[in-house]
Structure 1
Amino acid sequence: MRLPGWLAQHLAALRALLVFTVLLGLAYPLALVAVGRVPGLAGRADGSLLTAGGRAVGSALIGQSFTDADGNPVPRYFQSRPSAAGGGYDPTATAASNLGPEDIVDTVATSPGDSARSLLTQVCARSRAVGELDGVDGSRPYCTPDGVGAVLAVFHRDGLTGPVTRVVSVNQTAPATPFLARYQGVPVELAKPGEDYRAAGATIVPVRGDAPAEPAVPADAVTASGSGLDPHISPAYAQIQVARVARERGADPAAVRRLVQEHTTGRSLGFMGEPGVNVLELNLALDEQFPAR
């Protein structure tokens, strides 16, 4: 007996649903699980977990911070790069700061909770902190000695032209000292909370200063990755930390430097990306070879 056309179409659709459910809902996932159990791939399939003392302490694919309960760096460990993912390296909140190179003026509100640091000030503050921690020059172009963006709000007599009548260091507030005493003969003032100098007609002028063109603190030490989860730092950032880590652990700096080299990976396929040092793997190796005193 010939089935009605509408019923034949529904039965064909049902058969297709059953076939694709078996293939894509059962067979394909089970095949991937089986491949993940192949020797040599099982660890990667499980998240490339790293263990210490018989327990998992992290993943080789996701960075983590090495700080104390107050957020201060633990000196005996190599430090990771900054992270904008949640509270830092949160895999459930992977993200970047979304701040761009033109974000150079802090929001200085009357309420501290409403204030926000610009990207420039964040970079300056991080560079200064790294310099102090690792005993290197933390100065950078367009940064003040106290670690904020060196940016002026310059007022002219005729709006955008004419003699300068007023100058404000927009990222410095009392009791700081202006990073420049005078600009074009005009005394430099400190910013006042709640003032919007750009809206008041000022020209925003970043000041380069006399910092070296190639800062001692590398870029990855002061900027977060796009994902906020990058587990690597540059070899340059690792090298400036060697002396501190060796001193804190009572180890030979040359031996610590060899560990850094052992945990440095090259460019992917020999030409993509940059060399990197996996911080968690390196710190685990340090704990094994040079336990904290």
Structure 2
Amino acid sequence: MRLPAWLAQHLAALRALLVLTVVFGLAYPLLMVAVARIPGLAGHADGSLVDKGGKTVGSALIGQSFTDADGNPLKQYFQSRPSAAGDGYDPTSTSASNLGPENVVDTLPDPSVKDDEGKQGLLTQVCARSKAVGELEGVDGSRPYCTPGGVGAVLAVYHRDGATGPVTRAVSLNEACPATPFVTTWQGVTVECAKFGEDYSGGVVTPVRGNAPDKPVVPADAVTASGSGLDPQISVAYAHLQAARVAAARGMSVPDVGKLIDKYTTGRTLGFIGEPGVNVLQLNLALDAGHPVRG
């Protein structure tokens, strides 16, 4: 007996559903699991976990911080690049800061709110990080468009005719009163500190370059977070910048630290994509194994 067309169609759909479920819901996942257990691939499938003394201490694919309980850098360790993922290197909250190059004005702290720190723009974040790295490594941490105090050197400049004409007023937007502005005058007008809650939208936002070197000593990856916030590597330049500090903390010579940096430096992907990088976790573990800090 011939089945009705509608019933035949439903039975065909059911057979297709069963076949696809078996193939793609069971067979294919099991095949991928089996492939992932092949020697040489298992470690990658498990997350490239790194062990120390039988204890998992991290992943070769995810960066982490090397700081004390107060968030201060531990001098005996190489420091990773900044991270905007959660509280830092959180794989469940991988993200960038979403701040762009035009984000140069900070949100000032409210003096009426206890412990309010305001919100830094991208420029001030870069300036503050560069200053901190410079102090930690004993080098010049200055950058263009940054004040000596480590905030964005940005003025709101008011002109007589709106955007043109003589300057009538200038305000240092990222330096809250009673701070002393990074420049005393601008085109003959005394520069003011910024006051919380005051509207400065009528001024022309004007970044001021200053006299910092064109090529800062502190590399860019030391002051900016990656797109994922999880980068396990730093640039070779940033690693060598930290070599003297780590060597002093561990009683090593700088050349010996440099050899370890070279050992844990990987080249460009496929030989031409990106730049060489240094895996911070693996480098720090090698230092602990071969040159432990004496108490």
Residue deviations 1:107-134 (CA, integer Å, cap 9, x gap): 1142463721110000000000000001
* 2:138 counterpart of 1:124: no
1:151/1:206 contact within 8 Å kept: yes
Q: The residue matched to 1:29 in structure 2 has which SS?
A: helix
1:109/1:194 contact within 8 Å kept: no
- Letter of the 2:64 partner, please give it: Q
Q: The residue matched to 1:78 in structure 2 has which SS?
A: coil
- In the other structure, the counterpart of 1:210 is 211
Instruction: Judge which range, 109-118 or 280-289, deviates more.
Output: 109-118
- In the other structure, the counterpart of 1:247 is 248
* 2:30 counterpart of 1:27: no
- Letter of the 1:4 partner, please give it: P
1:81/1:222 contact within 8 Å kept: yes
Instruction: Judge which range, 109-118 or 156-165, deviates more.
Output: 109-118
- In the other structure, the counterpart of 2:226 is 225
**CA positional deviation for 1:92:** 0.6
Q: Following superposition of structure 1 onto structure 2, how do residues 78-93 of structure 1 map, counting pairs within 5 Å? A: 78-93=78-93
Q: The residue matched to 1:128 in structure 2 has which SS?
A: helix
**CA positional deviation for 1:174:** 3.1
* 2:265 counterpart of 1:264: yes
So what's the TM-score if we normalise by structure 2? Answer: 0.96
Residue deviations 1:68-89 (CA, integer Å, cap 9, x gap): 1111111111000000001001
Q: The residue matched to 1:154 in structure 2 has which SS?
A: strand
1:108/1:195 contact within 8 Å kept: no
User: How many Å separate the matches in 1 of 2:63 and 2:43?
Assistant: 17
User: How many Å separate the matches in 2 of 1:196 and 1:206?
Assistant: 18
- In the other structure, the counterpart of 1:195 is 198
User: How many Å separate the matches in 1 of 2:98 and 2:199?
Assistant: 22
Q: The residue matched to 1:113 in structure 2 has which SS?
A: coil
Q: The residue matched to 2:31 in structure 1 has which SS?
A: helix
- In the other structure, the counterpart of 1:51 is 51
**CA positional deviation for 1:242:** 0.2
- In the other structure, the counterpart of 2:76 is 76
Structure 1: 5+ residue stretches without partners: none
**CA positional deviation for 1:178:** 1.2
- Among all aligned residue pairs of Structure 1 and Structure 2, give the percentage whose two residues are the same amino acid: 71
Q: Which of 165, 189, 192 is matched with 2:168 structurally?
A: 165
Q: The residue matched to 1:204 in structure 2 has which SS?
A: strand
User: How many Å separate the matches in 2 of 1:175 and 1:260?
Assistant: 45
Q: The residue matched to 1:50 in structure 2 has which SS?
A: strand
Change (3 A) 1:114 1:140: closer
User: How many Å separate the matches in 2 of 1:219 and 1:250?
Assistant: 28
User: How many Å separate the matches in 2 of 1:109 and 1:76?
Assistant: 34
So what's the TM-score if we normalise by structure 1? Answer: 0.97
**CA positional deviation for 1:177:** 2.2
* 2:107 counterpart of 1:104: no
Q: The residue matched to 1:15 in structure 2 has which SS?
A: helix
1:63/1:279 contact within 8 Å kept: yes
**CA positional deviation for 1:101:** 0.3
Residue deviations 1:170-221 (CA, integer Å, cap 9, x gap): 11123432111111111111111122312xx111111000000000000000
Q: The residue matched to 1:277 in structure 2 has which SS?
A: strand
* 2:116 counterpart of 1:141: no
